[in-house]
Chains A and B, each alone.
Chain A
Amino acid sequence: MPDGLINAPVSIGAGVLVAGAVAVSLKKTKGSLDSQMAPMAGLVAVFIFAAQMINFPVAAGTSGHLMGGALAAILVGPWVAVLVMTVVVGIQALVFADGGLSALGLNILNMGIVTVVVGTLVFAGLMKILSKTKASIVAASAIAAFVSVAASAFSFVIEYYLGGNATYNPVTVLISVVGVHLLIGIGEAIITALTVSAILATRADLVEGARKFLPGQKLIIRDSSVV
């Protein structure tokens, strides 16, 4: 979102919340990954940055793009995912002027924290009831991604309710913001499912969210000379 939509107090509040979440994530994750998983975090950041550039059409005159929070959470776990998403959304705003600077906290909160938290919870909840197979992991990823986008849209509506600068009709805004993001969520679900299934097919041991469900997916130490 651009600067100026939401007032300073709510923007600052979001910034403080994000700073706290990032600080806790940094602390929780320092030195926490082995040398196989650690490069995945960087790769996931690069891939999500690239994928976010692709706006796909969702309805007349409207497009959507990947957010990636649920995808990151499933691939590298929620704490690392918060860092990955902060890096991606931060670079977009600071380097490419995509998303406002004073709205940076709000944008990281909506696209990088709400999506990670909701994606993680939905994925974990579904995996409790589904069979522990690769197909279930892909299906749970898709649904988690879809719900995460709706939750992100809903969090914008709450922020706008708390600190929106224009006069507006809350019900219309709620329906239209969440409505269009249900369509965008379908795109998010498809991209997330494709990505998770591609990595599950090649290196299931590198999908953090899948490790405990797939027996025999203990991390495999491979010699890099064997390509």
Chain B
Amino acid sequence: MSNKKLIIIGLLLSLVVAGFLSFYASSNPDGLEKVTADQGLDITAVDSANSDSALADYGVTGVENERASAFLGGVIGVAITGVAGAGLYFWLRNPKSADTK
């Protein structure tokens, strides 16, 4: 499999996972949330300063349909991580290595 094909498949798979599968993810608290709540450690927890931002909790403020909101949140997340990943690429790539496009 060529590099290009692997990357395209990887990106498409990530989009499906973040955009569609995420809607079916368990909405129960994760391990740390559950234990901190059970043990009463979360009484000192505070919302982070950006907790009412437009993309908080992987939804999009103003999109009423939950499925659409989760889809957009996931796709936007993949896109932003992709941009950061491209930044990593330029940092990591040896300029002298053969360019295979």
Given the known A-B contacts A50-B78, A53-B25, A56-B26, are A35 and B93 also in contact in the complex, defined by CB atoms under 8 Å? yes
A172 touches B39 (CB 8 A): yes
Give Cα A30 to B90, complex, Å: 9
Which residues of A, 174-195, contact B by the 8 Å Cβ criterion?
A: 176-177, 180-181, 183-184
Report if B65 contacts A (CB, 8 A): no
**Contacting pair A184 B97 (CB below 8 A):** no
Nearest B residue to A76, CB-CB: B92
B57 close to A5 (CB less than 8 A) = no
Judge if A49 is at the interface, Cβ distance under 8 Å: yes
**Of A97, A176, A180, which is within 8 A of B51 by CB?**
A97
Task: Tell whether B40 is near chain A: CB-to-CB under 8 Å.
Answer: yes
CB distance from B91 to the nearest CB of A (A): 6
B93 proximity list for chain A (CB < 8 A)? 31, 33-35, 38
Give which listed residue, B6, B82, B88, B98, contacts A84 with CB less than 8 A.
B88
Beyond A5-B42, A224-B4, A224-B100, is A55–B78 a contact (Cβ under 8 Å)?
no
CA distance A64 to B81 in the complex (A): 21
Q: Chain B binding site: helix, strand, loop or mixed by DSSP?
A: helix
B62 at the interface (CB under 8 A from A): no
Which of B36, B40, B82, B92 is within 8 Å of A46, CB to CB? Answer: B82
Q: Is A41 interfacial (CB 8 A cutoff)?
A: yes
Q: By the criterion CB–CB under 8 Å, are B44 and A4 in contact?
A: yes
Interface residues of B in 7-22 (CB under 8 A from A): 7, 10-11, 13-15, 17-18, 21-22
Q: Inside 8 A of A47's CB, which chain B residues have their CB?
A: 10, 13-14, 17
CB A54 to nearest CB in B, in angstroms, measures: 5
Q: Does A222 contact B (CB under 8 A)?
A: yes
B contact residues vs A (CB 8 Å cutoff)? 1-7, 10-11, 13-15, 17-18, 21-22, 25-32, 34-36, 38-53, 55-58, 73-74, 77-78, 80-82, 84-86, 88-89, 91-95, 97-101
